[in-house]
Structure 1
Amino acid sequence: MTVTISRHPFPTENAAAGLSVLENSTESLIDGLEVDSTRLGDAFQLSLTLAKSRCLLDPEASNLSTWQAWVNAMQVGSATFVATMAREGEIRCRIAEKERVLEATGPQRYSNPGSWLTAFYLAVICREKDRLTTLCHVPVSLLRESGAPYDEFVYSWVEALQAYWLGSPDLGAKLVAAIDGTAPQNPHISDPETTAKILYPPMEVFHRLVRENHAGFNRALTESIEWHKEYWSTEDNALQATGLVALAPLAMACLAYDASFPIEVESEYLPIALLERDWPGEFPT
């Protein structure tokens, strides 16, 4: 039985004008990366905001412009970590329909585990296998060099996803470490609410995926979307475009869809054209 979860209310009156401004700002940032590649972090954040914002007026992600925005965000995210792994010299990356020559950056504050997870989720959603493999060869030690403060379980979650994609035998141990690290009684969790409602639920969805538990997967996916909605419905969060799409649950659902799992959750938080891979392969990425 399919469960439908509506998206929390979000104003649309000035959405078109806002999207135009956001698109121009993103384009300008991306075009400037060949001059200053250390702006990759800003370009990544803004391009992801644009991709999610396009789903406000196009909740199914059925328009070409929406797909292009998601591809651009994925490309910037992947380029971020290619540049991070290179300590010197130039790298070549396709971003926003152009081949671009960027400078190696080495570790930066923005090349942290949170950004890596976002880049991984985007590559999953866009079905970019080669980019996923490249991301999964980014050493966790390199992410630590960013100096950004992250709870230890986040590094374990990165390691679990890398182990899954690369077929490593320590997947189970890494996933257990990640899930155990999110336990409410853990005194080292810096933000218990975000951990409980945003960071932990995709781990449980993934757990059911690797166990090939179809019913458990759909229960966990439903719960993750419900938690996402609750988190982004608060007065402090409701007007942030970040909440328009449930990025991590969407990525887990894409993995499951590609593994022929029945997906029994429908929601604007899970744009169906992205979930059901309507666009991948249509255009060079």
Structure 2
Amino acid sequence: MNENNTFGMPDAPDHELPMLTTHQANRLRALAAPYTQEGHTHFLHNLAQKCRQAPQEHWPEMVAGHFGRLAEAGNGDESAAELLRGVHARLIPTDSLTPEIAGAMSYARVVAEGLVFAYSLDMPTSVRMLTDPDVERAGIEELGQAAYANLMRVPVEHDEVPTEGGAVLHSLYGDSPFVASKALYLSETVRQVTDESLPDAGALFVVPTRHLLAYHPIADGSVADAINALAAYGLGAYEDGPGSLSPRVYWWHQGRLTSITVIDHDTLSFSLQPPPELLGRLKGLVRLDRAGRLDTATAAKAPDVAALTHATADAIAGLTDDPAGLGDAFASALTLAHAHCAADPKASHVDTWDAWAVSAQLGTALFTGASAQKCWLGEDMVPQLPETPATPPAQARAWLDAFYVALACREKDRADRLCQVPLEVLRQDDSVDAYVLHWIDTLQTYWSERPIDDVVTKLLATMETSHPESLTHTPKDFADLIDYQPVALFHRLIARDHDAFTKALADAVDHHRTYWGDSSAPRARVALGVLAMTSLAYDYGFPVDMPQPYLPTCLLNRARIEEIPAA
């Protein structure tokens, strides 16, 4: 396809058959004309795709063979039983529907930009689209039920395709021309093929040809890499064919298909523009992953602590030239602190404490600024944190991490300073759900020793907005099993209910185990929010059994707590 030619010139893409030039498409129509004089409507897209890959001297026999198979398939005189036995729900490209064909299939409907839902009859030697008389003969309800059941019986092969960025694409493929049409019922298809359910946010997918469906569940921040990988994968397969269907990337969510690809037909350029609802979800997941809060493909392997230590030291040293890297340096230090607890779950070693202490230094500096100070990461690594201005970023989850670390390290002054960060700044973070901001408001109100009635009011707002139906950014299992547990503990803490706190703590530890399973991700090692709330409870004289899984004993009981350079 020559993109530089003026539209309409002989070697420019044909408007209805863009896989061919105008000259080639006209020749194909001329070859097909003798076979289409009986008043029947026929699709030429699949035939055009095959002809594009063959020398033109072979086209006459290919056209003859194509229409010969259609003739053997019959002319729409099948019985209702035969129609129900062979009908399949099918996706077809919108540009294949000429006015004549569309007029014969008034039941068909557009389900997403570039895709039309229709019924197709699968026969031994060919496949044909059903027309309105066919639908009337079989009955629209009966036909719909049979089309769904037959489609779900179509066999597919399943492969996992890793990408350079670490995301994994799932590829479903097969000989059947109905494989891609399974995207209509993607949730059921995924469950059928993998025995897993799609996340609440759904999945991104491509259907470049009728034989191929590739998707990526929207479960974590790896979606940032997956979206571009899907776009490239889908466009390449669409251009290669045969049986091209759509070059677009789509979002499947609660049974709806939405194109997130925008095509400029004048320049033949493609861009990805997720709708606001999806964009909010993607931003929330990427922000979660940035600090290693979610178990992703890139975080699945246990990190090299020595390499991570050097990376953290380098990140701190680089702040003199690039102060904007403080957020990344904090995330790296906190990942290091968690990673140390894999080999040192009690946090009894000096190197482990150093990592936690540096996390407290960087977390506070990120939001409140700091004077110049040394950051100990080992005898031979003591990078200098330069003097940092107080310019808090709109990163609500990073604030929570910084506050949790300050509590676990018993850094009251740092916690005081963090609670002076204006909530209005953190509310500018559009990657989090409302309950996260209400929770921060609750903590700031409590720590600032405001009336307990104010604290309770804000706590109730946190609980109410954390219900599953209120979530638009956070995965429901993460919100329930991880984010909500410190809230539940805080509720028992301010009530001074020791027994209820003990039970809530056991639940929180169990939920952490349930969420992370056997993951090697650093965040799996320590339940940070739970550790913070339990540290408060311990200091308030609550009975806390030790050791507790995922709660480093030497932090919890203050045995390893040492002085940290003043902020």
TM over 0.5, yes or no? yes
CA contact (8 A) 1:37 1:104 kept: no
Instruction: Count residues with an aligned counterpart.
Output: 258
SS in 2 for 1:33: helix
Unaligned regions of 5+ residues in structure 2, if any?
A: 1-300, 377-382
The one-letter amino acid paired with 1:44 is F
State the Cα deviation string for residues 191-214 of structure 1 (Å, max 9, x = none). 211111111111011100010000
Alignment partner for residue 373 of structure 2, among 94, 112, 115? Answer: 94
- 1:229 maps to 2:508: no
Q: Give how far 1:249 is off.
A: 0.3
**Residue 317 of structure 2 aligns with which residue?**
31
Does 2:448 align with 1:166?
A: yes
Q: Residues 49-107 of structure 1: CA distance to partner in whole angstroms, max 9, x if unpaired?
A: 10011011111100111101100011110000014xxxxxxx52435147633443735
Q: Give the whole-Å Cα distance in 2 for the aligned partners of 1:105 and 1:165.
A: 20
CA shift for structure 1 position 269? 0.2
Question: Match of 2:391?
Answer: 106
Task: After TM superposition, give the deviation of residue 188 of structure 1 in Å.
Answer: 4.5
Report the residue type matching 1:125 in the other structure: A
Please give the root-mean-square deviation of Cα atoms over the aligned residues, in Å.
Answer: 2.1
State the 1:163 CA deviation: 1.0
Structure label with greater radius of gyration:
2
Partner of 1:6: none
Per the normalisation by structure 1, the TM-score is 0.84
The CA distance in 1 between the partners of 2:307 and 2:386, in whole Å, is 26
Note the 1:248-267 alignment, pairs <5 A.
248-264=529-545, 266-267=547-548
Give the AA of the match of 1:36.
D
2:414 matched to 1:154? Answer: no
**Deviation digits for residues 114-136 of structure 1, max 9, x if unmatched?**
01100000000110111110000
Kept in 2: contact 1:33–1:102 (CA 8 A): no
Residue 177 in structure 1 maps to residue 461 in structure 2: yes
1:222–1:265 Cα contact (<8 Å) kept: no
Q: Aligned to 2:304, what secondary structure does the other structure show? A: helix
Q: Which runs of 5+ in 1 are unaligned?
A: 1-13, 84-90
Letter of the structure 2 residue corresponding to residue 124 of structure 1: L
Q: 1:128 aligns with which of 408, 411, 429?
A: 411
Identify the match of residue 73 of structure 1 among 359, 372, 375.
359
How far apart, in 1, do the equivalents of 2:365 and 2:468 lie? Answer: 35
CA distance in 2, matches of 1:152, 1:283: 33
* Offset at residue 283 of structure 1 (A): 6.0
Separation of aligned partners in 2, 1:105 and 1:284: 18
Structure number with the higher helix fraction is: 1
Q: Does 1:40 align with 2:322?
A: no
Deviates more, 1:203-212 or 1:28-37: 28-37
Matches within 5 A, 1:43-54: 43-54=329-340
Change (3 A) 1:30 1:119: same
Shift of 1:149: 1.1
In structure 1, distance between residues paired with 2:512 and 2:359: 21
Alignment equivalent of 2:502, drawn from 186, 196, 218: 218
1:247 corresponds to 2:537: no
Structure 1 window deviating more from structure 2 (267-276 vs 182-191): it is 182-191
The DSSP-based 3-state class of the residue aligned with 2:373 is strand
Q: Please, which of 135, 138, 149 is the counterpart of residue 421 of structure 2? A: 138
Distance 2:356 2:392 in 1: 24
Residues in 2 aligned to 1:222 and 1:243: alpha-carbon distance in whole angstroms: 16
Contact 1:76 1:95 in 2 (8 A): no
Letter of the 1:38 counterpart: A
Contact 1:221 1:265 (8 Å CA) reproduced: no
Question: What percentage of aligned pairs have identical amino acids?
Answer: 37
Matching residue's letter, 1:256 = A
CA contact (8 A) 2:357 2:564 kept: no
CA 1:283–1:100: 2 relative to 1, 3 Å: closer
Change (3 A) 1:35 1:168: same
TM-score (norm 2): 0.43
Q: 2:509–2:549: 8 Å Cα contact kept in structure 1? A: no
